[in-house]
Chains A and B, each alone.
Chain A
């Protein structure tokens, strides 16, 4: 029992560090991708290919002046970024990162918590995500922050519906809320993507909206709202908000690959005859590759599409995605019945 607890602690800290490092380097990769899509080179001064740039940015953020508006609610002002960060990191707990590892004939699953309602847990956590932004925007006592926060909350609530309905269709075909089972049904190329193309599309669009990424980055919308909900934030508190966005991106990439792209399964894995631990490693790498491709997709879309107007965003969410998701559910139900 103590061994198991010890193992879980190690795994949890490994995933924590992994998410933080990935988020750190996502900032660099995002800038690089942006630059390459625009025929530029991107950051290349700090270390070869700018590999030290995230460190430099982190140090800069740490040493910036901590500014807090006079009229801000101090407790909530600090709670905002902390909550955003916490929630961004919490989601990773139920994601199966790879096939189980076998050490001395004991199986250790590469998953921090094997919750049998994993999808429900993810949903619960994602919907708390809006609180960090809402509280931060409210506590700043600034009109731009407040407008950004209000936009964020209505946007996230609207798109959660479409996302949930898209996932229900996945749950209907797999017959389980357990992420492990959903992944194990997608061995080889039997991805849920082929079974639920429409559901995948809806989920993808909603994931963009949930992570407040372009073309749905209205909550921070620098052209009209200065910085949106983090206008009044500086130093590492701002860093937490920006960081949390990248962690969210990483996690939604992970959820996307788990639900639709076969998770840690890769084609022909059973034919290679690999030992269990090597298989676990390969599975993890395959999963990571899928997440990275999702991350690249996020960036690619961001540097291609302009931002939606607010009424367009709402119309897309309520009048297009939700009916489509319901339609998708209906079709899935009919197909299952037949």
Chain B
């Protein structure tokens, strides 16, 4: 018994109130009537949207650092961690004069996530050693074609404009925040 709600079955005759059936009807109608005044569960959708959790796992974002450089170094750990095999990337070497674009010497020239394969588990985020990929509160919109669901860097990388940065602080774990304070690490400099 998992719920303790199981009732043993008996074959007894119905009692007279049960056979008259009216008390049961009245009781049922009392119950339905009480529901008339209950709070309605309907969310009046277009007018009123259900609140997302602060740490909702939606569309990914590829973060830039404070100076607007892409954090991703194309190490491929996210692709390895991905249980749905939704992530592919092509690594390239940073050329001279691109230091303001890419944080490290290696970067992802192509970074694609197939949103139809993605299960939004967040393991890529956990695997990332560079705090480059995060899941956001945004939803992946629907489309008419499958090809439209392979998101490249033009969608995933966050805007360089500091005003348009995507806030992911809610998804950063306490351990990460603690780690970021450690200025002896090269990662945090």
Contacts and interface: CB of A to CB of B under 8 A. Distances in A.
B139 interface: no
Given A37-B32, A300-B32, A300-B33, A305 B25 contact: yes
A36 B42 contact: no
Interface residues of B, number: 14
B29 A39 contact: no
Interface string A36-57: 1111110010000000000000
A300 B29 CA distance: 7
B114 to A, nearest CB: 36
Contacts of A36: 35-36, 40
Contacts of B31: 304
A102 interface: no
A327 interface: no
A301 B30 CA distance: 11
A193 to B, nearest CB: 16
Contacts of A121: none
Contacts of A301: 25, 29
Contacts of B32: 37, 300, 303-304
Given A300-B29, A301-B29, A37 B36 contact: yes
Contacts of B40: 36, 39-41
Contacts of A300: 29, 32-33
A37 B44 contact: no
A304 B25 contact: yes
A233 to B, nearest CB: 31
Nearest to B37: A36
Interface in B68-94: none
B142 to A, nearest CB: 22
A300 B35 CA distance: 11
A216 to B, nearest CB: 13
Contacts of B39: 39
Interface string A261-303: 0000000000000000000000000000000000000001101
A305 B31 CA distance: 11
Interface string B24-60: 0100110111011011111010000000000000000
Interface of B: 25, 28-29, 31-33, 35-36, 38-42, 44
Given A38-B35, A39-B40, A305-B25, 5 more contacts: A36-B40, A37-B32, A41-B40, A41-B42, A305-B28
6 contacts: A36-B35, A36-B40, A39-B39, A300-B33, A304-B28, A305-B25
